[in-house]
Amino acid sequence: MKKHGHYCKVCGEYKANEKFSGKGHASHICKSCASLPAETQAELMTLNRLLNLPWRLSKEQLSWLKNRLKDRRPDVRALAQEQYEMRFPPRHLEDDEFNFFDEEKRASLFEGLYADTGENEVSLLTTNRPNVLIILMESFGGVFVESLGGIPGVSPNLERLSKEGVFFTNCYANSFRTDRGTVCTFSGYQSFPTVSVMKSPAKSRTLPSIAGKLREQGYATDFLYGGDINFTNMKSYLLGSGYQQLTADVDFSMEERKNPWGVNDDITFEYLYRQIKERDTDQPWHTAFLTLSSHEPFEVPYHRLKEKIPNAFAFTDDCLGKFIDKLKTLPQWKNLLIVCLPDHGYYYPEEGLVHDPRIHHIPMLWLGGAIKQPIVIDKLMNQSDMAATLLAQLGISHKEFNFSRNVLGKNYKYPFAYYTYNNGFAFRDSTGTTLIDNNSGKTLIESPAPNERRTELGKAILQSSYDDLGAR
């Protein structure tokens, strides 16, 4: 299909000629991208080139791609890794790299870690069939939430709303990328240090999902994202998970797509509000929404904070606060449950290890008229546990969610958090944290003291998760 307009090599879009200045037309940089800092332009051009690499690479292209694996910019490194793995899939599912224990010992260590039965200790909801809205907040880690030890002043709305709902204060993201965090959230599945399940449709379509379980109960389902929903095979995963309708960047006008990644959060939050306001049906519904603006290059139409990165997160927080306040005025509020949590954390300020617990610590907040009363829950947990916890509150079985725990269940007797990063993993419980680099085999964090039990349990989960994925 022939593309119309003039190509911008920064954003990768074809735009009308009037979107370019004279010099910009010659250099293939639109007016919007020309206003960005030179460093941001360079990064976006690199990302655009990565996204448009041919499947079969020349020697020069392969060499360039390998060099991007070592790029100083995190998003460039991560996307380069994804592009490389799509062409040269890791063999970890077939080799013995993560077979730390014989089957008897692995099973013994793993037994009981992910219990799937038991009554709720507490009922959070006024109804077991509320409408369910899940807001997955791009990168919105605890480092931006003052009450969780983050920097002050970034998220006053989240802080305010946390006193009105159910605030989970000791939750940890399973992974470090949106594609991984999305699967962890909506399928309650484990994260992997070397594999993106989303990019393996043969595997991802075998996973259970919140949307799939709710559809079995008669819910209508839809998903909203202001960016490219085909990125990292997201569209395939969402459709396979049970979402009946998808809305993405292409469903908005070019004027609305002002962020280099797509549509800013103020526009998508307003779109979502209108959609909810206009729903007049007896059929229960579930909507999921992935925000976008708190992503590099952090270009947002908001200027409350001087520092660029915190300001972008403050913008998302502002959008969330206004959205919730407007929803409260609608009749739909009474029967609505809203779950807010990030897809992953963010390394800010840039101090300490990139994947220490501070970075993976995330907020999770349940709001809405369906909430009985405000409560703070400080049980140690993972974002993947949200699926089982939510379904249990709705009285829906979650037995097929192998790595998701009902943290409000009576059998949740051993709280812990486990997460992975680029070929490494961490295990955290009441005794402390162990973080291990698989490449070197070195233990990077043992806090407050070495603990062999934490190491063994982390390895058992890592081995068990690959066994589970390999069997799918």
In a domain, 328, yes or no: yes
- pLDDT (average), residues 99-127: 92
Tell me the residue range of the domain where 343 lies.
131-420
Whether 400 maps to a domain, the answer reads yes
pLDDT band for position 118 (50/70/90)? confident
Residue 13 has pLDDT above 80, yes or no: no
CATH number for the domain that contains residue 186: 3.40.720.10
What whole-number distance in Å separates Cα of residue 342 and Cα of residue 364?
8
Determine, yes or no, domain membership for 13: no
Q: Note the Cα 71 to chain centre separation in Å.
A: 23
Instruction: Give the pLDDT band of residue 254 (cuts 50, 70, 90).
Output: very high
Cα–Cα dist 387/393, whole Å = 10
What's the length of the chain? Answer: 472
**Where do runs of H (alpha helix) occur along 52-192?**
59-68, 74-87, 103-110, 156-162, 178-186
Residue tagged 């009105």 (tokens): 164
Percent of the chain scoring above 70 in pLDDT: 97
Residue 92, pLDDT > 80, answer no
Instruction: Identify whether 327 is part of a domain.
Output: yes
> Tell me: the pLDDT tens digits for 313-323?
999 999 999 99
| Interval 388-419: pLDDT, tens | 999 999 999 999 999 999 999 999 999 999 99
In this structure, of 194-198, 210-214, 371-375, 404-408, the range with the lowest mean pLDDT score is 194-198
Residue 395 near residue 406, CB atoms below 8 Å = no
Residue 109 falls inside a structural domain? no
**Which tops the pLDDT comparison, 19 or 367?**
367
| Residue 166 CA: distances (Å) to CA of 125, 330, 371, 413 | 10, 21, 8, 21
**Residue-level pLDDT at 90:** 58
The average pLDDT across 152-156 equals: 98
Give the separation between CA 110 and CA 458, rounded to whole angstroms. 9
Phi and psi, residue 334, nearest 5°: -55, -35
Please report the pLDDT score of residue 3 as a whole number.
Answer: 56
pLDDT at residue 82, as a whole number: 78
What is residue 94's predicted lDDT score, i.e. its pLDDT? 39
40 assigned to some structural domain:
no
Is residue 26 assigned to a domain? no
Number of domains making up the chain: 1
Residue 259 lies in a domain: yes
pLDDT in tens, 325-365: 999 999 999 999 999 999 999 999 999 999 999 999 999 99
- Stronger pLDDT, 117 or 110, i.e. the higher one: 110
